[in-house]
Structure 1
C-alpha cells in the first residue's frame, strides 16, 4: 500500500525575547504562530478497524500536538534559562505570568527542533514525523524535515 502524508495546522500565541540579539527581537515581544505538522504512514487496511483508511486520526494527532506544544506554549513567554533573562522570568512568574524557561535561544529554528523531539516521542510506531513548519509571521517561518535529520 502507498505511504501517505497528512498535515494538521495549529495556532498559538507566544511571547519571547532573544538575549544578546543585535536587533529589535532582544525586546520581549510576541507572535501568532502557525504550526504545520506533517506525518507519514500507510492508511489502515483492516476494514474492521474503526479508523479504516486513515494514516492517523486527525483527532489523535491533535491531542498529541496540543498536549506537547499548543497547551504548553500558548500565551506563555519563553526565555533561554541560561541567560540573564532568568531574572526577568522570575519577576514575571511572581506576578502570575506563564513563563517557560528552555535550554535554547527561543528562535523559530530552535523551537521547531524542540517541537519535533516532543512530537516524535508520542507518535505510534507505524507513523513517522515527516516535517514541521513553524510560521512566526506572514512572511517568516522555519522548517524541520526528518530526511534532513536522519
Structure 2
C-alpha cells in the first residue's frame, strides 16, 4: 500500500526573548505561532479496525501535539535557562506568570527541533514524523524534515 502524508495545523501564543541578540528580539515579545505537523505512514488496511483507512486518527495526533506542545507553550514566556533571563523568569513566576525555562535559545529554529523530539517520542512505531513547520510571523518560519536529520 502507498505511503501517505497527513498534516494537522495548530496555533498558540508564546512570548520569548533572545539573550545576547543584537536586535529588537532581545526584548521580551510574543508571537502567534502556527505549527504544521506532517506524519507519514501506510493507511490501516484491516477493515475490522475502527481506524480503517487512516494513517493516524487526526484526533490522536492532536492529543499528542496539544499535550506536549500547545498546552505547554500557549501563553507562556520562554527563556533560555542558561542566561541571566532566569532572574526575570523568577520574578515573573513569583507574580504567577507561566514561564518555561529551556536548554536552548528560544528561536523558531531551536523550538522546532525541540518539538520534533517531543512528537517523535509519542508517535506509534508505524508512523514517522515527516516534517514540522513553525511559523513565527506571516512571512517567517522554520522547518524541520526527518530526511535532513
Could you say what secondary structure the match of 1:116 adopts? helix
After TM superposition, the runs of 4+ consecutive aligned structure 1 residues lying more than 2 A away are none
In the TM superposition, residue 65 of structure 1 has moved relative to its aligned partner by: 0.2
In the TM superposition, residue 29 of structure 1 has moved relative to its aligned partner by: 0.1
Equivalent residue, structure 1, for 2:122: 122
Equivalent residue, structure 2, for 1:36: 36
1:73 paired to 2:105: no
Equivalent residue, structure 2, for 1:51: 51
Q: Residues 85-100 of structure 1: matches in 2 within 5 Å?
A: 85-100=85-100
5+ unaligned residues in a row in structure 2: which ranges?
Answer: none
Distance (whole Å) between structure 2 residues aligned to residue 73 and residue 20 of structure 1: 22
Distance (whole Å) between structure 1 residues aligned to residue 107 and residue 23 of structure 2: 13
TM-score (norm 1): 0.99
In the TM superposition, residue 50 of structure 1 has moved relative to its aligned partner by: 0.5
Q: Deviations over 1:53-86 (max 9, x none)?
A: 0000000000000000000000000000000000
CA RMSD of aligned residues (A): 0.2
5+ unaligned residues in a row in structure 1: which ranges?
Answer: none
Equivalent residue, structure 2, for 1:101: 101
In the TM superposition, residue 36 of structure 1 has moved relative to its aligned partner by: 0.1
